[in-house]
Amino acid sequence: MHPVVSIMLQRLALGLMTLFFVSIIIFMAIEMLPGDFTQAVLGQAATEETVAAFRRELGLDQPAYIRYFDWVGGVLQGDFGTSFSGRASSGVDRSREVVDLIGPRLANTLFLAGMTAVIAVPLALLLGITAALWRGSLYDRAVNATTLSTISMPEFFVAYILILFLGSLYPVFPSLANVSADTPFWERVYRCALPAMTLTLVIVAHMMRMTRAAIINLLASPYIEMARLKGLSATRVILFHALPNAWAPIVNVIAFNLAYLIVGVVVVEVVFVYPGIGQLMVDAVTTRDIPVVQACALIFAATYILLNLLADIISIVTNPRLLHPR
Amino acid sequence: MSESEGYSAAAEVGAVRMRRSWRERAWIELKKAPFTAWLGLVIILAYVFVAIFAPWLAPYGEADAQFGAYEPWSGAHVFGTDQIGRDILSRLIYGARNTIGIALATTLLAFLIGGSLALVAAISRGWIDQVLSRAVDVLISIPSLIFALMLLSIYGSTTLSLIVIIAVLDSTRVFRLGRAVAMNVVVMDYVEAARLRGEGLGWIMRREILPNIMPPLVAEFGLRFCFVFLTIAALSFLGVGIQPPTADWGSMVRENASLIQFAQFDLRAGITPLLPAAAIAILTIAVNFVVDWFLMKTSGLRDEP
């Protein structure tokens, strides 16, 4: 088998394994709850029958491994179970399907993340590569100092500074990003401007620094020096000698930061009251609505793992050393 | 000085010179430190001072809610009061104590867990190393903020569970680094010699390996502290971290966030919610400065040529 294929299959298997273990950990969340959580969900006045029915609905009368496969089977078919909230002690069940809660919000989050990525990735690569090429110049130092201080700031600090200047002092953009399913596209972009800007600032800083480090590392390698000593032009050295080897680190940087975006999105959604999945998760944590928390955690973790897997595979596929084995 | 034959200038000079004390050596290093490192150190010391002497520095109590809500900046309340009439300056000062204290305790616990497991894995290798490393691989593949949110929803948001959860999650990162650097040291002859001498696991960990992997671990401690500090601030900001009435910078930002809408009418009111956030940012930047300098000092590790 071609080495690329076998390495790719290895990575794929490893990624699926990780996903499997992660799903077990997330499933265990409900196992780790104290025994009396049914009372906490249904209220103190819950009757014996209501509690028993609730426990049967959750399948607590069955062994854990059967429930795990039930849960995973449901998730694969898009069924994340039923939310804990909306249940009354009398047995009246006004709870909603977790999927109905998550569906529209997931779309909103993906929109915000996608909008950020479209702005941030090209910007960061441009800044990173130029800073690496003009290393030590005033431009490099200025970009470096700015990004270092952005990295050290909590996301909500960046968000509130933007709100202060662009939302409050000079009201250019709305400081609450309230969108709904029928908001037209450009209106949506306008309302998402501040959250997307916040995320962009945070991500670009990380991405730019990592790109710069990767390129500098690469430019220091002997074969680049050889190409320079041969008298090739700077453009040729970069485009034909450095870039083929640079794809792997750059793709890794992008994937790593898009994965980081997942975490950043939680805080930013709360700041701007954006109806996304991150805010849903935080609300569910406050009310200890475990099925919703599990579903959100699984979605975040799966995205994270898949992004990293994708980066791994792309960096394998683009690695010239693996493509032309000796 | 080992060379005994003949005259050696180095031996003569070396004999007169007294061995510098730890304090003198530290001072010599400090004098050569760049401005940013100095700035970072001064800021960190100032934070520590405020955190330790909070009850003497704060004009009012931590949860003293006897004033009017949202009072403007004035002589009596330097930064005004918050939504239920607590003095913001006092809460900022107490917040230094709570936020930094909790972050520090968490980082220490993370290093205790992660560091010792890393050393055990590196020394014993074999299946213990395999099991620990694979477990860490799985844990590290869940974003730690998401994982922390999930665990907090199970165990509830008490300070203790916050510390333990974040410490366990961050110990995986410590484990990775600790194992990697310890692996380079365990293959050294002197470790082998100690093992042949019959020293136990504890001795080898403490006396042979730990002193040799200290510099990267100290730098990691600084960076980890920043990370933990930012995570806890984020969780508190989300309302699932440090709970009221404990003064904490993350939750203070959330509580006063609505003031920012009044920036057009009173700029100072608009800045108020940014103060605790700025306090967080300044400390992280300061620690980063010091860590940068320390890394440069101990390993020559820097991306500048």
Portion 268-287 of A in contact with B at CB < 8 A: 270-271, 281-282, 284-286
Which DSSP state fits B87? B
pLDDT category of residue A92 using cuts at 50, 70 and 90: low
* Gyration radius of chain B over CA positions: 24
- Give the mean pLDDT of chain B: 83
B240, B270, B281: residue with CB nearest A168: B270
Contacts of B247 (CB under 8 A, 6+ apart): B62, B63, B90, B91, B92, B94, B95, B98
Using the predicted structure, report yes or no on whether residue A85 has a pLDDT greater than 60: yes
Mean pLDDT of B87-100: 88
What's the confidence (pLDDT) of residue A326?
58
Rounded mean pLDDT of A249-278? 84
State the pLDDT at residue A39: 67
Mean pLDDT over B107-119 rounds to 93
Alpha-carbon distance A302 to nearest alpha carbon in chain B (angstroms): 8
The C-alpha atoms of residue A2 and residue A5 are separated, in whole angstroms, by: 5
Residue predicted with more confidence, A85 or A325: A85
State how far the Cα of A284 lies from the Cα of A291, in Å rounded to an integer.
9
Q: Which of A147-151, A174-178, A182-186, B216-220 has the highest mean pLDDT?
A: B216-220
Average pLDDT over residues B278-293: 88
A308 contacts in B (CB within 8 Å)? Answer: 141
> Closest residue of A to B227, CA-based?
A152
Is there a contact between A154 and B277 if contact means CB atoms under 8 Å apart? yes
- Our CA-based measurement puts residue B263 at a distance from the nearest CA of chain A, in whole angstroms, of 6
Domains of chain A, by residue range, sit at 1-96+287-326, 110-281
What is the residue type of B89? L
Q: How far is B188 from chain A (nearest CA, A)?
A: 29
A35: nearest CA partner in chain B: B154
Q: Is the pLDDT of residue A19 over 50?
A: yes
A136, A164, A267 ranked by CB distance to B260: nearest: A164
CATH no., domain A110-281: 1.10.3720.10
DSSP for residue B212: G
pTM of the model: 0.84
Q: How confident is the model at residue B300 (pLDDT cuts 50, 70, 90)?
A: low
Least CB–CB distance from A281: residue in B137, B149, B156: B149
| All domains of chain B in start order, with CATH | 33-298 (1.10.3720.10)
- Report the pLDDT value the prediction gives residue B302, as an integer from 0 to 100: 44
Nearest neighbour of B270 by CB, restricted to A135, A164, A293: A164
Give the pair of three-digit tokens for residue A96.
Answer: 């909603």
Q: What is the mean predicted confidence (pLDDT) over B133-162?
A: 86
| Band of pLDDT at residue B305, cut at 50, 70 and 90 | very low
Listed residue (A166, A128, A163) closest to A147, CA to CA: A128
A23-75 pLDDT, tens digit per residue, is 888 888 777 776 666 666 777 677 777 777 777 777 777 777 888 888 888 88
Q: Which of A154, A169, A284 sits opposite B233 (nearest CB)?
A: A154
User: Is the pLDDT assigned to residue A140 strictly greater than 80?
Assistant: yes
Give the pLDDT score at A325.
Answer: 63
Residue B155 has pLDDT above 70, yes or no: yes
What digits encode the pLDDT tens for the residues B222-233? Answer: 989 998 999 999
Q: B49 pLDDT exceeds 90?
A: yes
d(CA A296, CA A302): 10
Q: Are B263 and A164 a contacting pair at CB < 8 A?
A: yes
Q: d(Cα A128, Cα A146) in Å, to the nearest integer?
A: 13
Residue of A172, A274, A285 to mutate when probing chain B, most B C-beta within 10 A: A285
Angle at CA A196, nearest 5°, toward B152 and A176? 75
Closest CA to A81 of A99, A56, A54, A104: A99
Chain B partners within 8 Å of A271 (Cβ): 257
- The pLDDT of residue B105 is 94
Q: To the nearest whole angstrom, how far is the Cα of A25 from the nearest Cα of chain B? A: 9
DSSP string, A9-66: HHHHHHHHHHHHHHHHHHHHHHHSS-TTHHHHHH-TT--HHHHHHHHHHHTTTS-HHH
| Average confidence (pLDDT) over B69-76 | 76
Q: Does residue B303 belong to the interface with chain A, where contact is any CB pair within 8 Å?
A: yes
Average pLDDT of every residue of chain A? 82
Question: In this predicted structure, what is the pLDDT of residue B299?
Answer: 62
| Contact indicator for B293, A125 with CB cutoff of 8 Å | no
Which of A30-39, A73-82, A282-291 has the weakest average pLDDT? A30-39
Q: Over B93-135, what HEC string results?
A: HHHHHHHHHHHHHHHHHHHHHHHHHHHHHHHHCHHHHHHHHHH
* All residues at 6 or more sequence positions from A99 whose CB lies less than 8 Å from its CB, including other chains: A78, A79, A80, A295
Contact B234 A154 (CB under 8 A): yes
